[in-house]
Structure 1
Amino acid sequence: MKQRAKPIWLLGIILLLVACSPDTERESIKPEKGPPSPKEEEPIRIGFSMDTLLEERWLKDRDLFKEAVEALGAEVEIFAANGDDALQISQAERLIQSGVDVLVIVPHNAEATAAIVHKAHLAGIQVIAYDRLVKNSDLDLYVSFDNEQVGEMQAKAITELVPKGNYVIIGGAITDNNAHLLKKGVFKVLRPYIENGDINIIYDQWTKDWTPVNANANMEEALRTTNLQIDAVIAANDATAGGVIEALEAKGLAGQIPVAGQDADLAGVQRIVKGTQTMTVYKPIHMLSEEVAKLAVSMAKGENINAGQKVKNGKIEVPSVLLTPIPVNKSNLNTTVITDGFHSEEEVYQE
């Protein structure tokens, strides 16, 4: 007997039940996998390669920069090489390989760290030099204070007190471009005095790695070779000034010979209060760290950066942002480093 065909309406119900079955694989109604999330939706990652954390000043930079980057919704990974060139390059390579969006570097050696810039560019990562210039590289941006102006401020302050006499120059690390800029600023002011015969530079030496112990050794040599015939000292920063003043104290001369420094380190401003250091130059590093954080995040987003200045690094004229430093002595300590909260009144006056 011939089988009767099922009614069309019954076939429709059967097909509907099959389609709704949870065991049925239905590629056609599976949600399609969308494209990967765009880079902009991921947290921006900034790499921060630092020369050292062995000085008070750089501990502040690290903390302020981290805080500024995170306030902008980005992440930051920080390494410090503590004066080891090979280690700094290795650490920077780790940051590059980890895929940071922008690399920020405080170079120990202005020449050696050109290799870091080159390697970052091969990975498509832009590089910002933080406070210290990287020489002979295609650096993307340099943000610092006007370090030549810092040297000018030091020399002006000391020549106002000692317009004639024997001067000692205790420089920073020869490997640091900032040390050269500082000295350039110092001699820009001193040159007319030297040419007139009013000032004699009787000792001029670089300080390896900026360390107080090396500055102290330099100053001891200056005292020995000049038979203590020294009228003024210009030290490259407050750490080196500390080494200088320690050597002067050993000879009973601390407070008698004017000494200039820079960075407004706590120990430096305490020495100003005590009278053993004449002046320092305050570089509001909260301004520096916030500016670099803002620029780094903007670069990571692909935004255009308008840097108003250019600084030659031996290869190119690097787009630069240079902030203005402030000379500080006993008369304006309260209205500068204390008012800004850089140091507290209790710390400065050791109350």
Structure 2
Amino acid sequence: MSAKLKNVILMLLILILLFLLILISSKVYKFYVANKLDREVSNDKNVIKIGFSLGTLKEERWIKDRDIFMAKAKELGAEVFVQNANNDDEDQLKQVKYLLDKKIDVLVIVPNDLKKASAGVEMAKKAGVKVISYDRLVLNSNVDLYISFDNVKVGKLMAEYLVKRYPKGNYLIINGATNDNNTKMIKEGYDSVLLPKVKSGDIKIIGEEWSPNWMSEYAFEATEKYIQKNYGIDAIIAGDDGLANGIIESLSEHRLAGKVAVVAQDADLAACQRIIEGTQLMTVYKPLDKLAGDAAKLAVKLAKGEKLNVSNTIYDGKFTVPYYKLEPIAVDKSNIDDTVIKDGFHSRDDVYRYVN
């Protein structure tokens, strides 16, 4: 065999060997990638997915709810997908569908409308997804859990605080939105305190308003209307601190801020500042760390199929559902340092910012 032929055969053998090595390497690589992807898919399936559908983020408190919930859920190893409906019922239903398409394990919903949101709950149930109604109850929907503060007590605390200091006089009430079940519960609370006083003639309710979408602008206009009628307002119950802001703006324009007693709820930073300044008498503090943190824990438990051990229940208009009830706290100038500030809900520097 000639040297030239030997070289040709050697080159062919080398080429064949290289081809086989490339083929083997390619198969090994594909096997490795396939296994890696399988592991990632498997791991991804083990991650609990929670959909958080918020009716709004307009008020300061809902931003806190979102942030605390997400941080706690992440700490527990869950992934959270957040959607904000901006007070639009149709958008909220579309967003619920989007979250369900993400293959979530649990839907946590803050309904924009107490009845219309039931369609979203129904979609979730058909998809086999557990549902938590967060802070606001979805009516007629049989959610797996309702978590909120004792909203009847919120109304009681506001009314009791005023009655203790103003046992006689003209009261104005500016409620939140009629499409929020919390408004109804808060009213139940303050009515239980005020109606006996109204019956005795000590207190006169000069007006009761309902603010669409909890709009502070409406609260401003409503307060303006009653001031113009010269009723001589002694005290005002506001559905929340956002409404109190509109009320106090109106009072300020008539140099009545601090002269008319105003109470509300949520312990927003601006409300806490007004308490220190003396233009708002009291707010009902609802520790959101507890609400959002516990909601995240319970969502993870639901996803794992664990028992929640919730003893309270609430009737949603059609079904009796588990109710995880938290306690609200009345906060004024005397205890704001020991509650809102001590808990880290707001810093002392922020609360006392406008006071020398």
State TM-score, norm by structure 2: 0.87
Q: Which residue of 2 aligns with 1:10?
A: none
Aligned residue for 1:311, secondary structure, equals strand
Could you say which residue in structure 2 is the equivalent of 1:278?
281
User: What's 2:258 paired with?
Assistant: 255
SS at match of 2:265: coil
The answer to whether the 8 Å contact 1:155/1:186 transfers is: yes
Matched, 1:102 2:106: yes
Distance change in 2, residues 1:38/1:303 (3 Å):
farther
* Cross-structure match for 2:311: 308
Distance in 1 between the 2:45 and 2:129 partners?
Answer: 18
Greater helix share, structure number: 2
SS in 2 for 1:261: strand
C-alpha deviation, 1:41, in angstroms: 5.5
Counterpart Cα distance in 2 of 1:274 and 1:97:
49
CA contact (8 A) 1:152 1:186 kept: yes
Unaligned runs of 5+ in 1: 1-20, 25-29
**Are 2:141 and 1:123 aligned?**
no
Equivalent residue, structure 2, for 1:9: none
Distance 1:230 1:35 in 2: 68
What residue number does 1:212 align with? 216
Match runs of 1:1-351 below 5 Å: 42-225=46-229, 227-350=230-353
Query: Matched residues in 1 for 2:200 and 2:225: separation?
Result: 27
1:307 CA drift (Å): 1.2
Distance 1:348 1:37 in 2: 48
What is the letter of the counterpart of residue 132 of structure 2?
A: I
Segments ≥4 residues shifted beyond 4 Å: 21-24, 33-41
What is the match of residue 6 of structure 1? none
Distance in 1 between residues matched to 2:102 and 2:221, nearest whole Å = 42
Give the deviation of 1:224 after TM superposition.
2.3
Alignment match, 1:16: none
- Counterpart-to-counterpart distance in 1, 2:282 and 2:142: 36
Contact 2:150 2:328 in 1 (8 A): yes
* CA shift digits 1:67-112 (9 cap, x unpaired): 0100000100001111111111111110012110000001110000
Q: Cα distance 1:220–1:303, how it changes in 2: closer, same or farther (>3 A)? A: same
Instruction: Give the corresponding residue for 2:16.
Output: none
1:38 is displaced (CA, Å) by 6.6
Aligned residue for 1:307, secondary structure, equals coil
Contact 2:206–2:231 (Cα < 8 Å) also in 1: no
Kept in 1, the 8 Å contact 2:170–2:231? The answer is no
Following the alignment from structure 1 to structure 2, what is the Cα–Cα distance between the partners of residues 97 and 222?
49
What is the alpha-carbon distance in structure 1 between the residues aligned to residue 191 and residue 343 of structure 2?
Answer: 30
Instruction: Give the counterpart letter for 2:300 in structure 1.
Output: V
Distance across 2 between alignment mates of 1:266 and 1:155:
22
Query: CA offset at residue 214 of structure 1?
Result: 1.3
Distance in 2 separating the partners of 1:309 and 1:330: 33
Percentage identity across aligned positions? 47
Residues of 2 paired with 1:127 and 1:336: CA distance? 31
Distance 1:199 1:298, change over 3 A: same
CA distance in 2, matches of 1:148, 1:63: 26
CA RMSD, Structure 1 to Structure 2 (Å): 2.1
Deviation of 1:42 (Å): 1.7
Distance 2:89 2:228 in 1: 33
In 1, Cα distance between the equivalents of 2:231 and 2:240? Answer: 22
- Cα 1:309–1:175 shift into 2, 3 Å: same
- 8 A Cα contact 2:104 2:129, kept in partner: yes
With normalisation by structure 1, the TM-score equals 0.89
Q: Residues of 1 paired with 2:178 and 2:95: CA distance? A: 23
* Counterpart Cα distance in 1 of 2:65 and 2:274: 22
Decide whether the 8 Å contact of 1:40 with 1:301 is kept in 2.
Answer: no
* Cα distance, 1:191 vs structure 2: 1.4
Aligned residues: 325
State the shift of 1:40 in Å.
9.0
- 8 Å CA contact 1:108–1:175 kept in 2: the answer is yes
Cα distance, 1:218 vs. partner? Answer: 1.4
